Amino acid sequence: MAAVSHRVFSGVQPTGNLHLGNYLGAITRFVALQETHECIYCVVDLHAITTWQEPAELTKNIREVTAAFIASGIDPDKHIVFNQSQVVEHAELAWMFNCVARMGWLNRMTQFKEKAGKHRENASVGLFAYPALMAADILAYRATHVPVGEDQKQHLELTRDIAQKFNVDFAASIASHGYDETFFPLPEPLITGPATRVMSLRDGAKKMSKSDPSDLSRINLTDDADTIAKKIRKAKTDPEPLPSETEGLADRPEADNLVGIFSALNDQTAAQTLSHYGGGQFSEFKADLANLAVEKLSPIAGEMSRLLADPAHIDTILCDGADRARAITSPILRQVRDVIGLIQRS
Ligand code: AQP
């Protein structure tokens, strides 16, 4: 079976504090791709548990990411929305990929180093093997395109390495079963748009992140208007006025970040933003940015809370999505078992 020509897969972890970086770097891209591609969007709960999650919070966060997808404009009828643990093929293929990926490859992953920090020995085995599960998420669908933020680029490269090694290691078996020699496609990362790396509001050198202990560092999708305005007012800046040209943003990470956020939310280039605000003070720019952020995010927060009031409906959407997802992964995994040489029920 040849790969579908354009199939998009991506996921978001239900680890709480869904923020503007997740929204601009990933979810808005997910929405746009629906027009042109067959899309599969996953709440990656198995990734979330690579670090400890309080069980009731995890359940709540799975529903919250689902609500954020739908409130942002993802259509679960036309495309597939589900949570990863309901499609067992993800975990099965991940195990097979654990046996294909090399320790040296995983040792180079910067996200593991950052997340494990100085306490590597205490990190879960799952956190180390996380990129093999991500490769399985994508390749269980033979997805060809993966919209992600800049931080996931290295994991996507590893996915391509795993696909390539599998295709080579099992080339003879793939051929003997009559399968396409490109058994797994090498998926392309789609790291596009004006905000592929939204930075912390408190430190322009750190990415905006769910796990940052300071809530002032990020705008959460569920923040109310006053909280958004307060966080933008308190966002770190420098004493200089805004530059008139984009070149003037070099070496000014906080200014660069706020201009990037404004431009992404207003669907315009940084040059267009600076042509209006260049030479002005941050106070006026921040007031307009706060209004813009509230205008764009409040309807999403409102729709999320409406959806979350009916958890049974969200769970039905996830179960239905999982059934449709399994209809794709189940025959692909049958082929994988064949190729590896495993005996299975016919
Ligand atoms: N700051 C960001 N700017 C742009 N894109 C971002 N993404 C995450 N942070 C930014 C993108 O959002 C998608 C979902 O990410 P995730 O939840 O699966 O995991 P993550 O990248 O680990 O997100 P966080 O917020 O940084 O969580 P923690 O703090 O737990 O590590 C991905 O496409 C990601 O690129």
| CB distance 201 to ligand 1 below 6 Å | no
Residue 141 confidence (pLDDT): 98
Mean pLDDT of 9-30: 95
What's the CA gap between 71 and 57, in Å, rounded?
A: 20
Residue 173: burial class (beta carbons within 10 Å; 0-12, 13-18, 19+):
middle
Residue 305 confidence (pLDDT): 96
From residue 116, alpha-carbon distances to 123, 128, 131 in Å are 6, 9, 14
CATH superfamily of 215-306: Tyrosyl-Transfer RNA Synthetase (1.10.240.10)
For ligand 1, atom 26, which residue shows the shortest CA distance?
Answer: 209
Residue 4 confidence (pLDDT): 54
Q: Is the pLDDT of residue 214 over 70?
A: yes
Residue 119 confidence (pLDDT): 86
Q: Is the pLDDT of residue 1 over 60?
A: no
Hey, which bits of the chain come out as E strands? 7-12, 38-43, 80-83, 145-147, 188-190
Q: For residue 74, what pLDDT band results from cuts at 50, 70 and 90?
A: very high
Mean pLDDT of 15-22: 94
* Angle at CA of residue 129, ends 125 and 131, nearest 5°: 155
Q: Which of 9, 13, 22, 31 to mutate to test the pocket of ligand 1 (most atoms within 8 A of CB)?
A: 22
Give me the percent of the chain exceeding a pLDDT of 90.
93
What is the 25 CA–ligand 1 centroid distance (Å)?
A: 8
Q: Give the strands of the sheet with 188-190, arranged side by side.
A: 80-83, 38-43, 7-12, 145-147, 188-190
Q: Is the pLDDT of residue 6 over 60?
A: yes
**Catalytic member of 60, 153, 165, 210:** 210
Q: Maximum distance among all alpha carbons in the chain?
A: 71
**Catalytic member of 207, 231, 286, 296:** 207
What average pLDDT is seen over the chain?
Answer: 95
Domain positions in the chain are 7-197+310-340, 215-306
Q: Would residue 210 show up in a list of annotated catalytic residues for this protein?
A: yes
Q: Could you report the per-residue pLDDT of 295-323, keeping only the tens digit for each?
A: 999 999 999 999 999 999 999 999 999 99
What is the 208 CA–ligand 1 centroid distance (Å)?
A: 8
CATH superfamily of 7-197+310-340: HUPs (3.40.50.620)
Q: Would residue 234 show up in a list of annotated catalytic residues for this protein?
A: no
Assigned token pair, 326: 């399994």
Q: Could you report the per-residue pLDDT of 131-153, keeping only the tens digit for each?
A: 999 999 999 999 999 999 889 99
| CB distance 65 to ligand 1 below 6 Å | no
Q: For residue 233, what pLDDT band results from cuts at 50, 70 and 90?
A: very high
pTM value? 0.94
| CB distance 318 to ligand 1 below 6 Å | no
| CB distance 220 to ligand 1 below 6 Å | no
| CB distance 12 to ligand 1 below 6 Å | yes
What's the CA gap between 141 and 102, in Å, rounded?
A: 23
Reduced 3-state DSSP string for 240-298:
CCCCCCHHHHCCCHHHHHHHHHHHHHCCCCHHHHHHHHCCCCHHHHHHHHHHHHHHHHH
Residue 212 confidence (pLDDT): 93
What's the CA gap between 248 and 285, in Å, rounded?
A: 16
Q: Would residue 165 show up in a list of annotated catalytic residues for this protein?
A: no
Give Cα 135 distance to the centre of its chain: 13
Give Cα 236 distance to the centre of its chain: 26
